[in-house]
Structure 1
């Protein structure tokens, strides 16, 4: 059954790469481009998954349960992770699919992300992670627990709110750019050449996330999509040889890389690109911050911001907010100054 992780991961990696589904970009655009186009698409994935997981719970296929809310670790870790993804040039899944496209900077980010996630979960920083995550609000792990309402009420609010938000963006006119004549036809054109709609991509991501739940549970791993712990497990397995660490999640992240590589090769977007020294240093720092932050927060943009939010955990929603704040601070420090420097000079009227 572990092979299902590889299959689902490959499907996810393919969709992420071809749909250019970048959560870092969604968070960054709020601060730099002053728009929420991609963030609203991300919420489509959350809403689709939320409907699916609560149906699975109602049918008894999975059992969603709440745990105490580790508020301090979530806030600190989420902010650090959000800051780090700007330096790394991508979040957890974004780093995987960009590494598969041949971006050498993402190789460094991915390596240090996995390494520092392992250090923070199983190594020298493990006790720090455990201590931080031990500071909790007991019996208040989910929003529906806190407000004493049915989770289905929250599902309905999420779906309605997301639909209105997405509709707002879909109905707004967008700039159209000239495109080259298609070289492929039929399914090959759709899969490897045609630009994918962000909202369709998001819906497919949500469906894949739903499929991950029963597939993962069938192997004894009682959770859905997750990137940080599997990445840490890979790093730890390579240094210890402990085969018990090789679970469904490990196959999932390996599949993400494989699926992204297939998509990049098929679309002609694979190309080895070696960045300058400054970018490599930032990628390493960003990857390390991602690993520590995700370990403290209990998840990344997938485990918390996509999956945790769909089950209405406080950890998921609070980490989503502080990740966005961390991204904003890093964007203001590292991206905004570059954009000002690169801005074209104003030409006087009449010249």
Structure 2
């Protein structure tokens, strides 16, 4: 790693790491049909099955791999933003609920929209752009004051106060063991519901990509002379940075996030082409554009308020046992469950000709 950094520099190595992690995530997410919304729908309709199994395998694969890395000393997550800096519980709650509602309306979370965009889904491309623009506005634009006011309602200091491990008074060996058992139970649950072994392996690869993101950025930070922030798979900042780089900046500094988003897209695209699943999908009568736009708006603002998306906060933050991340993903589930049940109980009335 020292030789690579000396030859190419930190930014290029970070970008390359992000790209290869993204390739794995994009391909594995498409192959496994990884989707939080689909898992929520199964639970909301009282028929937990294959899609829930895939999500659980991915989540617990990330958690067990990261905690195992901490246990053996290969990884130290205490310096990660989700643990080291001040967090917002009000942001996690309100933003998580907003994200969950928007995810149901848009028929997919941010990572799912990016993966579907690579297959030619125009609905996902338009919604993803809305999410990215609104997220940027919430970060540093017109919506930033509102986001900051909501985030300051209930904050928690960084360090041990933000660590769920500390709050629950459990140590890393216990977390690693319990998460490993949960992973095995999730795999068994998937087999009971006839999920192919290959799909379960792909779901585990989704979680492993989260671990690779943490270990790659941590390793680079350890040998670099520059201050490099640890990070993993997330689509909040990277998507906004990628869009802004394309439309406002003629030259950009390579980073992990700038490699991640293209990597996910290309990984999903190559996989879709290989499987013959790449084709154009447009807005139709049963997929009204306004529903996707509202969903994208809610997700874009919710992402910045909650501190990340279903993967960035839910899986990457959850895998390092960040309190706000677990609260955010729980609220994403709750918001999505309630929204799906409300829509199911109030079907649209067909208009007469």
What range describes the TM-score normalised by the shorter chain of this pair? 0.7 to 0.9
- Counterparts in 2 of 1:66-145, with a 5 A limit? 66-67=83-84, 68-134=86-152, 135-138=154-157, 139-145=160-166
Q: Which residue, 10, 13, 35 being the options, matches 2:48?
A: 35
Are the aligned partners of 1:79 and 1:322 in contact in 2 as well (CA < 8 Å)?
yes
Q: Distance in 2 between matches of 1:50 and 1:5?
A: 19
- Counterparts in 2 of 1:266-345, with a 5 A limit? 266-276=274-284, 279-335=288-344, 337-338=346-347
Are the aligned partners of 1:100 and 1:258 in contact in 2 as well (CA < 8 Å)?
yes
Query: Residue 110 and residue 28 in structure 1: after superposition, are their counterparts in 2 closer, same or farther (change >3 A)?
Result: same
Are the aligned partners of 1:28 and 1:331 in contact in 2 as well (CA < 8 Å)?
yes
Query: Residue 133 and residue 155 in structure 1: after superposition, are their counterparts in 2 closer, same or farther (change >3 A)?
Result: farther
In structure 2, the residue matched to 1:4 is: 17
Are the aligned partners of 1:48 and 1:206 in contact in 2 as well (CA < 8 Å)?
yes
Query: Residue 76 and residue 10 in structure 1: after superposition, are their counterparts in 2 closer, same or farther (change >3 A)?
Result: same
In structure 2, the residue matched to 1:18 is: 31
What is the DSSP-based 3-state SS (H/G/I as helix, E as strand, rest coil) of the residue aligned with 1:140? helix
Query: Residue 297 and residue 211 in structure 1: after superposition, are their counterparts in 2 closer, same or farther (change >3 A)?
Result: same
What is the DSSP-based 3-state SS (H/G/I as helix, E as strand, rest coil) of the residue aligned with 2:156? coil
Once the two structures are TM-superposed, the CA of residue 293 in structure 1 deviates from its matched residue by 0.5
Are the aligned partners of 2:67 and 2:175 in contact in 1 as well (CA < 8 Å)?
no
Runs of 4+ aligned residues of structure 1 deviating over 4 Å after TM superposition are: 58-61, 242-246, 335-341
In structure 2, the residue matched to 1:216 is: 217
Once the two structures are TM-superposed, the CA of residue 215 in structure 1 deviates from its matched residue by 2.2
- Residues 211-268 of structure 1 show CA distances to partners (whole Å, capped at 9, x for unaligned) of 1113234262311111111112223334542856752112101111111111111211
TM-score of the aligned structures, taking structure 2 as reference length? 0.82
Once the two structures are TM-superposed, the CA of residue 339 in structure 1 deviates from its matched residue by 10
Give the root-mean-square deviation of aligned CA atoms.
Answer: 2.6
Count of matched residue positions in the alignment of Structure 1 and Structure 2: 321
Q: Distance in 2 between matches of 1:335 and 1:260?
A: 31
Structure 2: gaps spanning 5 or more residues: 1-12, 222-227
Are the aligned partners of 1:237 and 1:246 in contact in 2 as well (CA < 8 Å)?
no
In structure 1, the residue matched to 2:8 is: none
Query: Residue 90 and residue 246 in structure 1: after superposition, are their counterparts in 2 closer, same or farther (change >3 A)?
Result: farther
Q: Distance in 1 between matches of 2:274 and 2:237?
A: 30
Are the aligned partners of 1:80 and 1:289 in contact in 2 as well (CA < 8 Å)?
yes
Are the aligned partners of 2:33 and 2:51 in contact in 1 as well (CA < 8 Å)?
no
Are the aligned partners of 2:134 and 2:301 in contact in 1 as well (CA < 8 Å)?
yes
Q: Tell whether 2:206 aligns with 1:205.
A: yes
Query: Residue 196 and residue 40 in structure 1: after superposition, are their counterparts in 2 closer, same or farther (change >3 A)?
Result: closer
Structure 1: gaps spanning 5 or more residues: 176-194, 342-351
Q: Tell whether 2:173 aligns with 1:156.
A: no
Query: Residue 271 and residue 337 in structure 1: after superposition, are their counterparts in 2 closer, same or farther (change >3 A)?
Result: farther
What is the DSSP-based 3-state SS (H/G/I as helix, E as strand, rest coil) of the residue aligned with 1:9? helix
Are the aligned partners of 2:29 and 2:115 in contact in 1 as well (CA < 8 Å)?
yes
Q: Tell whether 2:191 aligns with 1:170.
A: yes
- Residues 141-176 of structure 1 show CA distances to partners (whole Å, capped at 9, x for unaligned) of 12111123213212222222342344244235x59x
Once the two structures are TM-superposed, the CA of residue 295 in structure 1 deviates from its matched residue by 0.6
